[in-house]
């Protein structure tokens, strides 16, 4: 079990470090994380690093479950990023993940959210989370061209929604063109 925990932390840490390092000047990375924080710690490690590395500006985080949105808010808030917007896939349900294969994974996101709620989404207010596609579009539209890194360490629903999006109040560009204009790196954990 300890080996799996360390391996998971190493994968998440390596992914995020790969996405934010590089370049001779170590400029600040404008980062959006798309994660599935729930029962394994790779996404939590990525969020921890994004919240604490001095050369990272955490712009937004998109997730898939209600407790994940609240946990992200709590973790980012704990590290001084109380205003980081969180996107939550719709429809919002209270469905939980059940590991019927190994029966070893334990959901921890709701516990983190409950005990450490101090971010942009207080405990019980997951409905205040952004729609993830709207959050992607608003955040990207506000950034300089070619300046954003997206680290996707979760499911692809939110990125798919962005790719299939059309012009809106945030940008006249459809999803693929908005990504091409604003995103310099897309790092995906598969």
Question: What is the per-residue pLDDT across 147-173, written as a single tens digit (0 to 9) for each?
Answer: 999 999 888 999 999 999 999 999 999
CATH number, domain 2-188: 3.90.245.10
pTM for this prediction:
0.83
Q: How far apart are CA 115 and CA 100, in angstroms?
A: 27
Q: Which of 108, 124, 27, 106 is nearest to 75 (CA)?
A: 108
pLDDT value of residue 112 = 77
- CB-based contacts of 6: which residues, under 8 Å, 6+ apart? none
Percent of the chain, pLDDT > 90? 44
pLDDT value of residue 102 = 47
Provide mean pLDDT across the span 169-178: 98
Percent of the chain, pLDDT > 70? 78
39-54 in b/e form (b: 16+ CB < 10 A) is bbbbbbbbbbbbbebe
Most confident option among 1-5, 27-31, 171-175: 171-175
pLDDT value of residue 44 = 85
Where are the chain's structural domains?
2-188
> Per-residue pLDDT tens for 118-147?
777 777 788 889 999 999 999 999 999 999
The pair of three-digit structure tokens given for residue 3, joined into one six-digit string? 């080996």
> Per-residue pLDDT tens for 55-91?
999 999 999 888 888 889 988 988 898 899 999 998 8
Provide mean pLDDT across the span 93-108: 57
């Amino acid at each position: 079990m300890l080996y799996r925990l360390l391996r998971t932390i190493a994968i998440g840490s390596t992914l995020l470090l790969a996405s934010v390092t590089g370049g001779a000047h170590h400029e600040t990375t404008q980062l959006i994380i798309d994660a599935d924080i729930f029962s394994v710690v790779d996404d939590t490690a990525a969020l921890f690093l994004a919240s604490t590395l001095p050369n990272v500006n955490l712009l937004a985080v998109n997730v898939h479950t209600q407790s994940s949105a609240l946990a992200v808010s709590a973790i980012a808030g704990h590290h001084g990023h109380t205003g980081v917007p969180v996107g939550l896939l719709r429809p919002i349900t209270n469905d939980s993940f059940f590991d019927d294969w190994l029966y070893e994974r334990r959901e921890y996101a709701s516990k983190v959210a409950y005990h450490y709620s101090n971010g942009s989404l207080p405990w019980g207010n997951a409905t205040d989370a952004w729609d993830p596609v709207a959050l992607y579009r608003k955040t990207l539209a506000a950034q300089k061209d070619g300046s954003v890194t997206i680290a996707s360490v979760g499911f692809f629903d939110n990125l798919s929604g962005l790719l299939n999006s059309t012009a809106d109040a945030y940008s006249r560009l459809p999803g693929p063109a908005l990504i091409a204009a604003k995103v310099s790196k897309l790092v995906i954990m598969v």
